[in-house]
Amino acid sequence: MAGVLDDAEISRILSITAHPDDVDFAAAGTVARWTDAGIEVIYCLVTDGDAGGLDEDFPREEMPARRRAEQVAAAKCVGVHDVRFLGYPDGRVEATLELRRDLARVIRQVRPDRVLCPSPERNYTRIGIGHPDHRAVGSAALDAVYPDARNPFAFPELRERESLAAWTVREVWIAAGPDPNHYVDVTETFPRKIAALRAHESQTGQMEDLPERIRTRLTMVARQAGLPGGRLAEGFRVLDTA
């Protein structure tokens, strides 16, 4: 197990993801545990998920608003009430300097102790996890944590024009990466994770077997974590970034 900060030392956590539903598939059970413990969790989404949804009859121009609303509803299921969208186009995210600056801005605004983000690496055993947008956001988020947000001379316009002081994030949790080193038991919060996933109706409305599918995966992760049978877990790679 990694040396992980005690949740009692944590006041705020910023989750950075590419699309609506990413945080819910990867970590909603853990997020519910954090908010239950009195930690404030803020979501930052790089895109509105405007390339998502399976219903071809649904007007595409209404998709961004629909998916934003679904994410806001999903967030409420796990105790999150602050959801921010950067509005990048879905499917075309790159780890640009502009994205790094936009993420460094949010980090300096929120001043989180811990950042949750996707992995910048490909996962060869589960190709769907390594969507190019996820990898780009993972890479830009890590660069925003180190060095951009903490270096007062990186993106000086943030300080000069927006009065945003440098901020050091102490810990990063990479969700759904290829090599987890920390596990959270989410057996108790599983129903809220499913409720959050169900809130993404445009994505999960057709998935009748959603709870079983998620239960099977989280059971596998719990086994990997060495938890007793019947338990469910989410896995993370925890990095000390202090």
* 25 torsion bin: left (phi>0), alpha (psi -120 to 50), beta (else): alpha
Which span (17-25, 166-174, 187-195, 203-211) binds Zn ion, by CB under 5 A?
17-25
Burial of 37 (0-12, 13-18, 19+ CB in 10 A): exposed
CA dist., res. 110 & res. 41, Å (int): 10
**Smallest separation (angstroms) from Zn ion to the CB of 227:** 27
Strand order in the sheet with 12-17: 82-88, 40-47, 12-17, 114-118, 171-175, 233-240, 182-185
Q: Which is closer to Zn ion, CB of 22 or CB of 148?
A: 22
Query: Which structure tokens are listed for 67?
Result: 């998916």
Q: Which is closer to Zn ion, CB of 135 or CB of 231?
A: 135
**Smallest separation (angstroms) from Zn ion to the CB of 122:** 14
- For residue 52, which phi and psi values (nearest 5 degrees)? -95, -175
**Smallest separation (angstroms) from Zn ion to the CB of 19:** 4
Candidate residues 14, 22, 28, 31; the one interacting with Zn ion per rule CB under 5 A: 22
Candidate residues 13, 14, 15, 19; the one interacting with Zn ion per rule CB under 5 A: 19
- By CB under 5 A, how many residues form the interface with Zn ion? 2
**Smallest separation (angstroms) from Zn ion to the CB of 18:** 5
Residues that bind Zn ion (CB under 5 A): 19, 22
